[in-house]
Structure 1
Amino acid sequence: MTSAPHAEPLRVVAVVGSVRTPSRTTALVELVLRTLAAQTPAETRLIELHTLGPAFTGAAEREQVGADVEEALRAVESADLVIAATPVFRGSYTGLFKHFFDLVDQYGLAAKPVLLAATGGSDRHALVIEHAMRPLFGFLQAWTAPAGIYLSSGDFDGTTVLNPEVYERIEMAVADVVPIARALAAVRSHTLPV
């Protein structure tokens, strides 16, 4: 796939709800970001929520967060494309993941493309994308990409993705979301004051 000549880089922000490093979820997101950068010009940023510290976890409201957390929230709100990824914890997303998106402005993701990704211990958690993540981003009025990416522990050796089918799924999901992200970014650039 070739991008338009001199295309503006997409501003892509990935949010990972893992609670520690190393993380299979972070490894998956890094693979998605590399795939995306190979398909289109992109400025990418990875936010690992467990690194934001007490200024994030201790905040009940947005006004209580520190400057670095506020900057991370604004990065997500101003992104052209958000990649939202979480490990499955007790059948759903992690508390850190939910807490972060609770602090995002209620309309900060409206009509913004979001690519959903998750990792879990077995295939029985694969529906977390449909039953937990998609409703959350539906409430935030985001446009969620039709194809989500779910990997189970059997797809990895440590944090290395082994399953060759995963690469095809990632390629397909990225190829689906990039044209939408570009189109919506173009609309925003023509309708919003500079």
Structure 2
Amino acid sequence: MELIAEEIPCEQRLVEMGQLAPQLAGAVWRAQLPAFVERELAAVEQADVLVVATPVFRGSYTGLFKHFFDFVDQDALIDKPVLLAATGGSERHALMIDHQLRPLFSFFQARTLPLGVYATDKDFADYRLQNEALIQRARLAVERALPLVELSRLPRSANAEEMIAA
């Protein structure tokens, strides 16, 4: 998120699944969710761009992560740029981005960016990325995302005109 904010003015918002767990766990319908969770869902649905990151758990995203996205309106993410990221204990799970996250966001018809970012425990120090090659990969992913973010910020009619003119 910080890398995007360095390039374009934006409001950053972090949605932490751990904080939502108690309110999210028992809900089956969106109407059952408390206002706090509803605000987080609305923030995701209204964002210009999403940076979606999850730990790998048993070769996939966590159940809580999936449960949250089960409540996202299926049309809310259409054409929204999504940068995919994951963390895991070893490099063995790096393809999780392509085999688990990408199909989930394809359901939403989101524009998943082609370059995902996968990190292991060794890439962090004090909860911050320290691996320079990985930092450069994240910068490249953001660089490639910026034109889509700018395009998504245009009003729908201008967006269509820009695509026709291109």
Same fold (TM over 0.5): yes
Question: What do you get for the CA RMSD once the two structures are aligned?
Answer: 1.4
Structure with a larger share of its residues in strand: 1
Q: Is the 8 A contact 2:15 2:40 kept in 1?
A: yes
* Equivalent in 128, 131, 153 of residue 160 of structure 1: 128
Change (3 A) 1:185 1:151: same
State the alpha-carbon separation in 2 of the partners of residues 157 and 183 from structure 1. Answer: 35
How does 1:8-157 map onto structure 2 within 5 Å?
33-157=1-125
Residues 95-115 of structure 1, C-alpha deviations (whole Å, 9 max, x = no match) = 111001100001111111111
State the alpha-carbon separation in 2 of the partners of residues 125 and 189 from structure 1. Answer: 41
Q: Which runs of 5+ in 2 are unaligned?
A: 160-166
Structure with a larger share of its residues in helix: 2
Q: Kindly, what percent of the aligned residue pairs are identical?
A: 50
Q: Normalising to structure 2: TM-score of the pair?
A: 0.90
- Secondary structure of the 2:15 match is strand
State the alpha-carbon separation in 2 of the partners of residues 85 and 169 from structure 1. Answer: 15
> What corresponds to 1:177 in structure 2?
145
Change (3 A) 1:123 1:53: closer
Residues 16-68 of structure 1, C-alpha deviations (whole Å, 9 max, x = no match) = xxxxxxxxxxxxxxxxx221111111111001011024221211111110001
Q: Is the 8 A contact 2:87 2:121 kept in 1?
A: yes
State the alpha-carbon separation in 2 of the partners of residues 38 and 129 from structure 1. Answer: 25
Residues 80-138 of structure 1, C-alpha deviations (whole Å, 9 max, x = no match) = 10111100000000111100110000111111111100000001100000000000000
Q: Which runs of 5+ in 1 are unaligned?
A: 1-32
Q: Which has the higher contact order (CA 8 A, sep 6+)?
A: 1
- Report the alpha carbon displacement of residue 190 of structure 1 after superposing the two structures with TM: 4.7
- Secondary structure of the 1:105 match is coil
- Report the alpha carbon displacement of residue 189 of structure 1 after superposing the two structures with TM: 7.4
What is the number of residues matched between the two proteins?
A: 159
Change (3 A) 1:99 1:189: farther
State the alpha-carbon separation in 2 of the partners of residues 158 and 189 from structure 1. Answer: 45
